[in-house]
Structure 1
Amino acid sequence: MKNLDINELNLNNDNEESFEYERVFAESLVDLSEELTLPPTALSIGDHEYKGFRYRNNTFSYGEFSAIVAASKTKKTFFKSALVAAYIGGQASRYFPNIRTHREGEPFIIDIDTEQGEYYAQRSFRRVAEMVGETYNNYLSFGLEGLDSNEIVRFIDELLQDRRYKGNIKWMSIDGIADLVDDTNDIKQSVQVANKIKRWRRENQMHINTVIHKTSTSDKATGHLGSAIQKKSESVILLKDTDENPEVKNSPIKVSQVYSRGAPFDPFHFKLNDETLPCECDIKNEDW
């Protein structure tokens, strides 16, 4: 397969002749007299009180994207699987009662893994069905570890335009968003990919959940790509191991929302149960 140049993919079209000023003007002019409502919620974590009433948190909205930020080996993929399972529904609420789906109908759900080989990617994809309790027919999982960054971007572009799925994809997870660029510290590529994600979620009115590593010295996402993703995300969720001793196996993982455009959820914890499935836990109760 030809090694494509990322600049050939028109991630950020610099061709002035193709810029449609009148269309952009009409679409971007904000009418202050129009009463707008919150974007519909795809998935919510927890709730909040407002004027004496309880409302679900608008954690993951349609037409927006989010980021899971964590160090290596902090069960990022497990938590990503938990979100996908929770969005599908079924028995997933048994594992995380505070995460609730707002899915309507039978939309397609795309789950992309760019980091793991076929065997481990399949294990993570099967975990979703185990948590749901059955196979969701419109769940499509892809292991793209064998593709380079340009090919991954091209594949997602083509997938979203595929007439079999176009317009009916409502959730997409990209586990390994850093693999969409050659270098996470390349400013131009990072901004281009962040803008590409914005376009994908806006044009398809779906939620895109991304997974990215944090730096070794702070809780910020890696590189210029991480900065661009965090700045443009609706929600940024940080995972941290509660025990930094590598000899301690299956210590609880703390989940907190470090950035939110809406009401943030309260921090909570999860571990792996006896079936190696992620499950919310009370860190004060060792017999959870």
Structure 2
Amino acid sequence: MKSLIDMRNGAKIDGTNYKLLLKHIRLNVTDKYEFPPEIIKVNGTTVATLGNFSASTGKPKSKKTFNVSALVASALSGKEVLKYKTILPQGKERILYVDTEQSKCHCHKVMQRIMKLAGLPVDKEDDRILFFVLREYTPEQRREIISCALQEEENIGLVIIDGIRDLIHDINSPGESLNIINELMRWSSYYEMHIHTVLHQNKGDDNTRGHIGTELNNKAETILQVSKNAENPNISEVRAVHIRDKEFQPFAFEINEDALPQLVNNYKFTKTKEKISSYADMSNEQHLEALECAFKDKQSMGYQELLDSLKTGYASIGYARGRNTIVKLCKFLSNINVLIKEEQGYIFDKEPLCSGSSLV
């Protein structure tokens, strides 16, 4: 087994090692395997299993750590917290929580929050949770500390890495990103536990940051998104953006007077408009909505003004594109007689869109 561990840590594989590895890596059709224990659920939907990893993403200050605190509190209490129901199997009851960003003072608040959510005393240590503060260490040292902890500590079933970005130097490095994702896969599989990581999203869109975000999306069992409500920033919404099981009903939480997250009951989610890949795939209703926005309070307009208005109108329905695409869109609409060029400029004729027949 020691030779197997060494190879997992990067040792070269030769003929002798290959023979030792073969019984571990070869899959036989006659083998019997049990499905890995499902340890985290939301409304009956499996979010996490042993031997896999997942992630929470969101923009800065979206309360990602509050969300993770609820997940951990559920594991400690065995009760549902927010919408998380976390059950760690016997022999895997312990939790390793690693924070790479915050000071000890702030991490202490997080730990106390977890204990309070779990209904546990804050004046007594609980051996089931190990909380590491790794802010002052290098990325290499952080990975080594985690690796050593997993080797030395027994009965770890859940690992939280709040700040996976800080385990590498460059989030846009394909090599570093692939290496740390491979590390997560090795750790979770070899030690038969689940790893839940936290990573920021880009400020300008909902994509996870850097190449490491791309790798997380491709390899993780589940990606949870925590986002602020656009109208009420005190409310955070939680939904699954990537999940292997069926999607669960999103839920929302707010921070109460005790600085603890609590569910917002009867919360109504605003449906987001689906992304549109091509103007040729749009329905008549979508074109009509965009063009009515573009021609708002205008009977006709010149070509350049038309392009600017089309860009604004179609962006309002979720189809934001550059000039070249808008020029092609303008030609498309002219060919189907929705845009008509007259002496005073271009006018909008909605009749073809209201006829009930497809434009394409």
The TM tier, using the shorter chain, reads 0.7 to 0.9
1:134 counterpart residue number: 120
Q: 1:15 to 1:104 in 2, by over 3 A?
A: closer
Q: Provide the aligned C-alpha RMSD in A.
A: 2.3
CA displacement at 1:60 relative to structure 2: 0.9
Q: Note if 1:71 corresponds to 2:59.
A: yes
CA distance in 2 between counterparts of 1:128 and 1:10 reads 37
CA displacement at 1:73 relative to structure 2: 0.4
Match of 1:211 among 190, 195, 198: 198
2:157 counterpart residue number: 170
* Residue identity in the other structure for 2:256: N
Residue 77 of structure 1: SS of its match in structure 2? Answer: helix
CA displacement at 1:257 relative to structure 2: 0.6
Q: 1:284 to 1:236 in 2, by over 3 A?
A: closer
Q: Note if 1:112 corresponds to 2:98.
A: yes
2:17 counterpart residue number: 20
1:154 counterpart residue number: 144
* Residue identity in the other structure for 2:140: N
1:269 counterpart residue number: 252
Residue 212 of structure 2: SS of its match in structure 1? Answer: helix
Larger radius of gyration: 2
CA distance in 1 between counterparts of 2:253 and 2:16 reads 48
1:51 counterpart residue number: none
Q: Note if 1:256 corresponds to 2:239.
A: yes
* 8 Å CA contact retained: 1:70, 1:238: yes
1:58 counterpart residue number: 46
Q: Note if 1:89 corresponds to 2:77.
A: yes
CA distance in 1 between counterparts of 2:239 and 2:267 reads 17
Match of 1:38 among 35, 40, 56: 35
CA displacement at 1:218 relative to structure 2: 2.7
* Residue identity in the other structure for 1:64: N
CA distance in 2 between counterparts of 1:155 and 1:34 reads 36
Q: Note if 1:100 corresponds to 2:100.
A: no
* 8 Å CA contact retained: 1:70, 1:76: yes
CA displacement at 1:33 relative to structure 2: 3.6
What TM-score do you get using the length of structure 2 for normalisation?
Answer: 0.67
CA displacement at 1:108 relative to structure 2: 1.7
CA displacement at 1:22 relative to structure 2: 2.6
Q: 1:187 to 1:284 in 2, by over 3 A?
A: closer
Q: Note if 1:279 corresponds to 2:262.
A: yes
CA distance in 1 between counterparts of 2:150 and 2:261 reads 29
Residue 195 of structure 1: SS of its match in structure 2? Answer: helix
What TM-score do you get using the length of structure 1 for normalisation?
Answer: 0.82
Q: 1:226 to 1:284 in 2, by over 3 A?
A: closer
- Higher share of residues assigned helix: 2
Residue 265 of structure 1: SS of its match in structure 2? Answer: coil
CA distance in 1 between counterparts of 2:202 and 2:21 reads 37
1:199 counterpart residue number: 186
CA distance in 1 between counterparts of 2:15 and 2:188 reads 22
* 8 Å CA contact retained: 1:68, 1:238: yes
Which stretch shifts more, 101-110 or 130-139? Answer: 101-110
* Residue identity in the other structure for 1:31: N
* Residue identity in the other structure for 2:254: K
CA displacement at 1:283 relative to structure 2: 5.7
Which stretch shifts more, 127-136 or 72-81? Answer: 127-136
Q: 1:219 to 1:19 in 2, by over 3 A?
A: farther
Residue 240 of structure 1: SS of its match in structure 2? Answer: strand
Residue 30 of structure 1: SS of its match in structure 2? Answer: coil
CA distance in 2 between counterparts of 1:284 and 1:264 reads 18
In structure 1, list runs of 5 or more residues that go unmatched: 1-8, 48-56
In structure 2, list runs of 5 or more residues that go unmatched: 1-5, 269-360
* 8 Å CA contact retained: 1:11, 1:192: no
CA displacement at 1:146 relative to structure 2: 0.7
CA displacement at 1:31 relative to structure 2: 2.4
